[in-house]
Structure 1
Amino acid sequence: MTPSASLVDCLRSHGDRVAVHTETTQLTYRDLADEVTATMPSLGTGRRLVLLETRNDTDTLTRYLAALAAGHVVIPVPADRDHHAIIDTYDPDTVIEASGIRHRHRRPVHRLHDDLALLMSTSGSTGSPKLVRLSRVNLISNAAAIADYLDIRETDRAATTLPLSYCYGLSVVHSHLLRGAGLILTGRSVVDDRFWELFRRHRGTSLAGVPHTFDLLDRIGFDAMELPHLRYLTQAGGRMPPEQVSRWAAHASERGRKFFVMYGATEATARMAYLPPELALSHPGCIGRPIPGGVLSIDSNDDWPAGTGELVYRGPNVMMGYAQRPGDLALGATVDELRTGDIARRGPDGLYEIVGRSSRFVKLYGLRIDLQRLEAALRSHDTAVLCAEDEDSIAVAATTPRSASELQQLTAAAAGVPVTAVRAVVVTELPRLTSGKPDYPAVRRLAAMPDPDAGSDAVDLRRLFADVLHLDPTTIDTRASFVDLGGNSLTYVAMSVRLEQALGHLPAQWHLMPLNRLQPTTAPRRRWGSTVETSVALRAAAIVLIVGSHADLFKLWGGAHLLLGVAGYNFGRFCLTPVPRRQRVLHLRNTIAWIAVPSIAWVAIALVLTDDYHLSNLLLANKFLGPPDSMTAGRLWFVEVLVWILVALTVVSWLPGADRWERRRPFAFAAAALVLGLALRYDLLGFGLGREAWFTVLAFWFFAAGWAAAKASTLWQRTIVTAVLAVGLHGYFGNPDREMLVLAGFVLLIWLPALRCPAAVAGICGVLAEASLYIYLTHYQVYPLAGGHPLLGVVLSLATGVALTRLVMAVRKRMAGRPAGLPTTSTPATRTVPAEPTTGKIAP
């Protein structure tokens, strides 16, 4: 039987069972066999070396199976990566990319061993030309063993949660196709709602993941998901901590599912051992027993305690050997066993347990340090960490709230070595390969990165940021962003104006960019060469409209509602950053304090000096508690509405389900808030609130509209928000001019991120926007001092708010004492690479 007949006939034998489910199509096994047969001629004549860029789609699957069916040798590689090292080394005859099939040689130019079928990268990346040579027997035997111990059935449907360029992801395909089961073929992440829509629609029965996959599942609240058809989960691709194994095993058991922990390597095609689900709770630290057809043994030596040694595996799935040059492709099997490099022991129950790794040990100062155990020790201190040997030191990368210096000291103490033997770096995310496995070479590179602070531009920006944020410039790491350094919506205004002056332009999303990526422009300045962000310009314009209208200089109402929209816009940008839920809630608490504390302080002063306020204003609750005096209730309505909206959103953000939804679908979540706001605006919910209290609830939709504007990232999303605003504003005030003014401001906010203007205008906008909160709070008491001269009253109000803002900022800077920037150290071995944005506040 030819290779072609073997594979195609195997597919066709499963008949009209569905082999592949996608978002738009389904293929039966008969259809898939026909597609494979039709694709084979396009791959060229002769037995070829084929490099295949993989995506989790039907084209990749069909071409991969067609190449195997035609007897070609396939090198699967991840798409959208640099494959020059592989191509330059092995000179493949054919390259299959997204654009199609490209034949580099009319006739095959390589001698390929008869048994060779697949060449896989050992690291999950294509940076190294060292490949694993796998035979047809390797592929079939391992797929059969996996299908056996997982009890894969024809009714099973597995989602492709892993790339097909990775042996684990490919083994899911092999084992399911072998048994006539279905594949839910998707390239979507498990954090994407559409992944789960697809999984439920096609009644997915199994999920495969590396430890990082399960971390993501934790983040999105997997334990609360309704997945009625899910039968089992599998984990491989790296060691999962025993406490996590226990938790996931318990979770699966409670829901009538199975949780398989598996152990393998590319050199063993995929799997070597598995832990039966019924033993996962009682033996969470074990890798289990050999797969059907395989044998494990321990090779002990004097370096290890009795019964402990290197784990050795034998079985039909052991690779033919490695390839490092084209000539190696003609070789037969050069190994008959796999020395794993893992140090293990076999328990009396026959289960194997990994206790270390020969290549994961480092000897420093006479101590033999197990880096795997060191990682486990640091994890007990709430630090997600990777440790790697780096010549005569330990390189450490971690995601932790600690500083790099603190991480260095903690690691040194845990390892029992001097601090100078550790080089530490704090990162946003632990470096991982495309397979999800730890990228230890990247850990070494990160820890060895030179300090990027050199260069006059970086130094100048550090001084600029230090001045605005009240920090010591020597403590600022130029890999940090404005938000990383504690920037908020108040300091954002001043920073944006001064940064535009320094750089000559204002990059999009500059507040999230590291300082060392903010570069001055070389283009000549135009006459109107300054840029002011639209949100800043609107804050400045709105506060002038508010003060001018109240002082009877003119009557242009709507500024406060614009400010409410800008506050929602800033909420979306600054308060909903990708940080843990607890941190988000803390940020919102701080945001409320930034607004409420000065407001209450000013009310307390005004209560002593004037009759303008009531005691209920001290609680910022006059709208709820009364008295319903129009002046008392009206003067601080904006602050009251904003504070109570933020209080409500803090409660919502605290709810795990809401937090997960917002992270997965930020625009949809904001749009839902806008829909709720409109329901309140049209009184569709029938709340029986009093008139003044209802006003507070009624105004929420302006805030929600600004929030949705911040999250609208596509043309249709911005169009929807604009249309909803136009409809919602119609008849809202009963004053078309006021409605048009507010709509015009929102349209600018949604569609025009920045405005060009003379430098002087940009500077004035920045000053007024920065002082908008204090101008709003004080102007009611200031403009009457002008004795009936409205223009003078407006100027005095603006000047007073600006002066008070500068005074408060100076006091805060003085009270801050020592700088509050990202911690650094004078020790060149440690640095901090910025985490995700961690703070942000809103102000009018």
Structure 2
Amino acid sequence: MTLALPQSVPAAGAPVAVPFARDLARHGDRLAVVAGDQRWTYRELAQQVDATAARLGGGRRLVLVSGANDAAQLVTYLAALVGGHVALLVPPAHAGTVAAAYDPDAVLPPGGELEVRRRPPAHDLHPELALLMSTSGSTGSPKLARLSHRNVQANAESIAQFLGVRDTDRAVTTLPLHYVYGLSVVHTHLLRGATVVLSDLSVADSCFWDLFEAEGGTTLAGVPHTFDLLDRVGFDRMRLPRLRYVTQAGGRLDPGRVRRYAELGRRGGWDFVVMYGQTEATARMAYLPPELAAAHPSAVGVPIPGGSFVIEPAPEVTTPGVGELVYHGPNVMLGYASEPADLALGRTVTALRTGDLARRTPEGLVEIVGRRSRFVKIAGLRVDLDHLETALSRPGVAVRCTGADGELLVAVDGAEPDAVRREIADRFGLPVRAVTVAAVAPLPRLANGKVDYPELARLVTSAAPAAPVASAAVGSSSPGDLPERLRALYAELLGRPDATLDSTFVDLGGDSLSYVEMSIRLEDELGVVPPNWHVTPLRELAAGASSLVAVEARGWRRVLRLRRLETSAALRALAIVCVISTHAGLFTLLGGAHVLVAVAGFNFARFRLTSAGRVTRLRQQAVSIARIAVPSVIWIAGVVLLTNQYGPLNIVLMNGLFGPSSWTSEWHFWFVEVLVYILVVLAALLAIPSVDRLERRFPLVFPAVLLGFGLLGRYGIVDLGVPHTMPVFWLFAFGWAAARSTTWWQRLALTAVLAATVPGFFGQSARELAIVAGIASLLWLTTVPVPSALSRVVSVLASSSLYVYLTHWQVYPRLNDIHPGLAVAGSLAVGVAAWWLAGRLTGGLTMVGWTAVRQLRSPSTWASSGRRSRATRR
């Protein structure tokens, strides 16, 4: 049910008329309308309108007018506005459909006579309602924009003001009356006492230009398709001495063409005015002053007089300064109608959410950069169809895109479809298998000149050749397809459509979370994932694929049913299972949390300390911290709110600094707190330019020094003042140094440090042995074999370990009395579900986790640390 907003209602009495329609006679004997052989002055037009209004009779009626460009339709429309009725303007082809849906009281069919169907009227019409119009691009839908008397009058006045419409102007119609842009041309000229020449001729017809010249046309209006036709008929060579201005709206015109027509106007003595509007705003919302068109051809300009714009955040947009364009002004519709009962509603909207994505230029101009509703998701990526069209179109080549999630349909006129398909794959990283391209000429269009996208989809689907079915087996596709498949894979999992063959996993912002899923998917493509693939350009991965498959066949036959999983990922999955099982009493194996501290340092060095600039590094580290802290704070706050199990210090992750020294339930989240503290301190340290330079110059010495500092806390030489927690910084620094070791003797030295420093830390030999074994495997083993059937399970557990760690405290105690095994399984299931839900809520990829915090991937230390954190908890 739609709720009406407060509004002012006209006083009872005579029906409210739209002022410019009511006052036609004041322009006297000036020529008002030319329609074929009919030529009416304003006084004569007013008489025709009054006579028709008398036929409509008393009471407020719903009057359907099929908005063709002929005198009878115009007179009946104006009569409805004068008599206080509600005009329903529809395309002639859809008059029957809309009439069936709304059952109007009076109907003027195409080429027919006005029929008053009933007396008295049958509809409950709101006092402010004056006009109903199909929304832009409609093909007979019953959804209509409800426009008020004030909407119609205010927009006509505003447009006439910024265009400077004169009573000497003459407009030859190029657009139908049922299209709001075409209707606004009529409104503005009748408001100022100018002449409207009604014609249904196309600008591609020489007869149109004969009429234009004979009637002394001064203004010309067009949508983008109109300018296609103007180019074909040689408009630039025409001599039109009375032409004052040309206006453009109804969709984006290519910036190059905007410049060209602005220059034509400068040479020809007329203005070129780009405008922007929607039916819901009764026509126009913005215009680009003619003198700015050549310098700012991508902009739609400034708000019309009386209107204003606000750019509000849009969740799918990450570009700074870009958001949804919201318009405020007296021309904003009352709301939508979908059925006759809606005609009684008053104002249900106060501002128009355009659905367009926009930004402001430094000069203060509004520039439309995309359409929220013109997005499809291909291979997990949001694809802006408007941007794609603009990027692919060029002089002599028209490209239009449509489709649905998982399928991109492209119509091309003027280029080879296969070439366009390859260009889409190369430039935008979209998988070729999801793109269908076909030659379609001419492009199908609606009556208003806009592209008919439903028909376009049908034509592309029917015209495109059937795509071959690719085999899923490794190596079954042609070698030439492999680079594209790898690029598409990176684009999908990392959210980076800009991936190229020279990109590496780390360059694109890959982290320890996406690393797990990516390595598995790469193994599907390559057979064997080479060492250091995450820093290897895609081009080299694809080039080495055939030799890798050969090695697989010869040397790994005995483990053909195994996958090689990255060691840190396997450790995260194993550690979280050990942590939960130990807590639930299924079995006891301590030390997993401390292994994960080292894993966190290992992945911090690999994924966060890249060759990127200092500012980029800091931004990535900030995201890493947020990826641990935000879900932790949300979960802990929820638990406190519902159970009071923890305290305020837990919510703000400060228990490690200010909590009790004895072990209580408040220490459940010590691992999360430790990681946040470490990452915050390191971010602050590396923010210092001189420290940043030292780390880059001495990549192994730097963490080795930090390791030495950490050992001061481990042996209690320096009192850090934080019981139970910060002494483990030495393990984080150890993992960092392990990632930087490049030779066997460096790894051997670190192993010696490990063996010398871990024993005695806990006084529990089994726990200390587990820690040494786990970190040593991280140091010496790049990957470990995992049964193929379990690789996906291990991947999910590694990716969701933070959420498993956070939630298991509230899960396993409730199931432990039934069976510890059930408690472990329940804890893992709830944690995985929480991770999956968090990924959906943030718009991230399911197997990558929290990547939606930024649509273009950003660092992932937290991810790596996050997982470790859960496992680390004890």
Greater shift, 436-445 or 14-23, is seen at 436-445
One of 89, 98, 108 as aligned partner of 1:76: 89
- Give me the whole-angstrom Cα distance separating, in 1, the residues matched to 2:91 and 2:359: 36
Question: 2:362 matched to 1:348?
Answer: yes
Match runs of 1:501-520 below 5 Å: none
CA-CA distance at 1:445 after TM superposition: 2.6
Map of 1:96 onto structure 2: 108
Q: Describe the SS at the equivalent of 1:100.
A: coil
What is the CA-CA distance between 1:54 and the residue it aligns to?
2.0
- Spell out, residue by residue over 1:219-251, the C-alpha distance to the aligned partner (whole angstroms, 9 max, x if none): 000111111100000000000010000000000
- Residue 213 (structure 1) aligned to one of 226, 234, 237: 226
Match of 2:408, as an amino acid? Answer: I
Displacement of 1:213: 0.5
Change (3 A) 1:202 1:188: same
Asked whether the equivalents of residues 275 and 300 of structure 2 are also in contact (C-alpha less than 8 Å), the reply is yes
The number of equivalent residue pairs is 451
Question: Is the CA contact 2:174–2:202 (under 8 Å) kept in the aligned structure 1?
Answer: yes
Contact 1:294 1:313 in 2 (8 A): yes
**Distance (whole Å) between structure 2 residues aligned to residue 106 and residue 417 of structure 1:** 60
Query: By how many angstroms is 1:410 displaced?
Result: 3.5
1:33 aligns with 2:46: yes
Distance 1:226 1:135, change over 3 A: same
CA distance in 1, matches of 2:320, 2:203: 43
Q: Which of the numbers 290, 301, 310 marks the counterpart of 1:288?
A: 301
Shift of 1:368: 2.9
Q: How many angstroms does 1:126 deviate by?
A: 4.2
In the TM superposition, 1:7-18 aligns within 5 A as 7=20, 9-18=22-31
SS of match in other structure, 1:191: coil
- Shift of residue 382, structure 1, vs aligned partner: 4.1
Tell me the amino acid that sits aligned with residue 172 of structure 1: V
1:317 equivalent in alignment to 2:334: no
Cα–Cα, structure 1 residues 451 and 147, in superposed 2: closer, same or farther, change >3 Å? closer
The answer (yes or no) to whether the contact 1:300–1:306 under 8 Å persists in 2 is: no
- The 2-side partners of 1:237 and 1:198 are apart by 24
Query: Is 1:242 matched with 2:238?
Result: no
Superposition deviation, residue 125 in structure 1? 3.8
Q: In the TM superposition, what is the alpha-carbon distance from 1:266 to its structure 2 partner?
A: 0.4
Matched with 1:547 is none
Matching residue's letter, 2:97 = A
- The whole-number CA distance in structure 1 between the counterparts of 2:187 and 2:18 is 17
Cα distance in 2, alignment partners of residues 325 and 137 from structure 1? 23
Is 1:230 paired with 2:240?
no
* Separation in 1, partners of 2:352, 2:231: 34
Superposition deviation, residue 301 in structure 1 = 4.8
Cα distance in 2 for partners of 1:12, 1:289 equals 34
Structure 1: distance between partners of 2:285 and 2:21: 28
Instruction: Give the structure 2 partner of residue 87 of structure 1.
Output: 99
Three-state SS of the structure 2 residue aligned to 1:411 is helix
Q: 2:346 aligns with which of 309, 332, 342?
A: 332
Does structure 1 residue 58 correspond to structure 2 residue 71?
A: yes
2:217 counterpart of 1:196:
no
Residue 62 of structure 2 corresponds to residue 49 of structure 1: yes
Cα gap change, 1:4/1:287 in structure 2, threshold over 3 Å: closer, same or farther? closer
Correspondence for 2:391: 377
Q: Which runs of 5+ in 2 are unaligned?
A: 1-13, 467-874
TM-score (norm 2): 0.50
CA contact (8 A) 2:105 2:122 kept: yes
Equivalences for 1:684-695 in 2 at 5 Å? none
Query: Do structure 1's residue 162 and structure 2's residue 175 form an aligned pair?
Result: yes
**Residue 399 of structure 1 pairs with residue 400 of structure 2:** no
Q: Distance in 1 between the 2:253 and 2:24 partners? A: 35
Q: How does 1:711-790 map to 2 (within 5 A)?
A: none
1:411-422 alignment to 2 at 5 Å? 411-422=424-435
d(CA) in 1 for partners of 2:133, 2:21: 23
Letter matched to residue 89 of structure 1: A
Amino acid at match of 2:336: Y
For residues 60-90 of structure 1, give each alpha carbon's deviation from its aligned partner in whole angstroms, at most 9, with x where no partner exists.
11111011111111111122x1434312221
Indicate how the Cα distance of structure 1 residues 36 and 84 shifts in structure 2: closer, same or farther if over 3 A, else same: closer
Q: Distance in 2 between matches of 1:450 and 1:219?
A: 26
* Partner SS state of residue 3, structure 1: coil
Residue 388 of structure 1 is matched in structure 2 by 402
CA distance in 1, matches of 2:170, 2:395: 39
Q: Which residue of 2 aligns with 1:185?
A: 198
1:411 deviates by: 3.3
1:255 to 268, 275, 289: 268
- TM-score normalized with structure 1 length: 0.52
Offset of 1:44 from its aligned partner? 4.1
Distance 1:304 1:401, change over 3 A: closer
4+ long deviations beyond 6 Å: 450-453
1:278 maps to which residue? 291
Residue 176 (structure 1) aligns with: 189
**Mapped contact 2:440–2:460 kept (Cα < 8 A):** no
Residue 166 (structure 2) aligns with: 153
C-alpha spacing 1:193/1:111, structure 2 compared with 1 (3 Å): same
Letter in 2 for 1:163: P
1:452 offset after TM fit, Å? 11
Q: How far apart are 1:22 and its partner, in Å?
A: 3.1
Corresponding residue for residue 665 of structure 2? none
Q: Contact 1:134–1:269 (CA<8 Å) still a contact in 2?
A: yes
Q: What is aligned with 1:367? A: 381
Percent identity reads 54
Q: Distance in 2 between matches of 1:73 and 1:182?
A: 25
Structure 2 equivalent of residue 106 of structure 1: 119
2:662 maps to which residue? none
- In 2: Cα distance, 1:417 partner to 1:214 partner: 31
The code of the aligned residue for 2:451 comes to P
Structure 2 residue 394 is the aligned partner of structure 1 residue 358 = no
Find the counterpart in structure 2 of residue 639 from structure 1. Answer: none
Q: Partner amino acid for 2:308?
A: V
| Equivalent position SS for 1:41 | helix
Aligned partner letter, 1:110? H
CA 1:102–1:136 in structure 2 vs 1: closer, same or farther (change >3 Å)? same
Secondary structure at 1:248's aligned position in 2?
helix
CA contact (8 A) 1:58 1:185 kept: yes
Q: How does 1:375-774 map to 2 (within 5 A)?
A: 375-380=389-394, 382-402=396-416, 404-449=417-462
Q: 1:5 to 1:130 in 2, by over 3 A?
A: closer
Q: Deviations over 1:347-400 (max 9, x none)?
A: 221101111121222232243322222112221384211101323111112223
Residues 95-142 of structure 1 show CA distances to partners (whole Å, capped at 9, x for unaligned) of: 101121123333311100000011111134442111100001000000
| 1:200 partner amino acid | E
- Which of 1 and 2 has greater Rg? 2
User: Helix, strand or coil for the counterpart of 2:23?
Assistant: helix
Select the structure with the greater relative contact order (CA < 8 A; seq sep ≥ 6). Answer: 1
Measured against aligned partners, the alpha-carbon deviations of 1:444-497 in whole angstroms (never above 9, x if no partner) come to 2323348899xxxxxxxxxxxxxxxxxxxxxxxxxxxxxxxxxxxxxxxxxxxx
